[in-house]
Amino acid sequence: SKLKILEFPDPRLRTIAEPVDVVDDSIKLLVDDMFETMYDAPGIGLAATQINVHKRIVVIDLSEDQSEPLTLINPEYTVLDQTLEEMQEGCLSVPGFFDNVVRPHKIQVTSLNRDGEEQNFVADGLLAVCIQHELDHLNGKLFVDYLSGLKRNRIRSKLEKKHRAEAAG
Ligand SMILES: O=C(O)C[C@@H](Cc1ccccc1)C(=O)SCC(=O)c1ccccc1
Ligand SMILES: [Zn+2]
């Protein structure tokens, strides 16, 4: 089922997610719900933190036709190449705002897949950016944290206004 995505500045987005102990059927159902929610948004990634589930689970699909689903459970990465890359990022928890963030260009990723098996791979470009963005979510960090305080406050004010208007119905 489609799940509700928390929006900045909701303090629950600042929670540190816990590791998954066993990749059982309940985790697989949660992963399926996360893909459904991500595809519907639409987005190219989603961290469990964003749907108020504080477990270290990320789903990603960079394809145009939902053909390349990637599940990362208890993901970790190391930086392979210090070269920095600047890319425009968006966030389903900061709807309507996009800005440039600088991140390492190439990373080595280790995680469990949807079947609980170990997977290791190298990522660069948009995949590396997306993985770092999603892992920030699991550590309670948002891309707006990399922007100036002025920009962050303006985004916060505009989203708080939107949420008040929605609450008023
Ligand atoms: O909030 C999230 O984690 C999802 C976010 C992932 C992300 C996008 C761009 C750079 C880094 C991380 C998004 O998917 S925002 C929406 C978006 O970028 C997009 C939506 C539809 C098609 C293509 C991109
Ligand atoms: Zn995000």
Mean pLDDT value across residues 27-53: 98
Residue owning the nearest CA to atom 6 of ligand 1: 45
CA 25 / ligand 2 centre spacing (Å): 26
Model pLDDT for residues 130-158, shown as the tens digit of each residue = 999 999 999 999 999 999 999 999 999 99
Among 44, 63, 98, the mutation site with the greatest number of ligand 1 atoms within 8 A of its Cβ is 44
pLDDT confidence band for 114 (50 / 70 / 90): very high
Q: Where are the alpha helices (DSSP H) in 22-78?
A: 25-40
Q: Is 166 a catalytic residue?
A: no
Q: Percent of the chain having pLDDT more than 90?
A: 99
Stated pTM of the model: 0.98
**Which ligand 1 atom is the nearest neighbour of the CA of 93?**
1
Tokens of 91: 């966030």
pLDDT of residue 31: 98
Residue owning the nearest CA to atom 2 of ligand 1: 91
Strand partners, 59: 46, 71
Could you report the predicted ipTM of this complex, rounded to two decimals? Answer: 0.97
Residue owning the nearest CA to atom 9 of ligand 1: 89
pLDDT of residue 85: 96
Mean pLDDT value across residues 92-109: 98
- Spatial contact of 45 and 104, defined as CB atoms under 8 Å apart: no
pLDDT of residue 91: 98
DSSP category for residue 9: T
Model pLDDT for residues 1-22, shown as the tens digit of each residue = 999 999 999 999 999 999 999 9
Mean pLDDT value across residues 80-89: 96
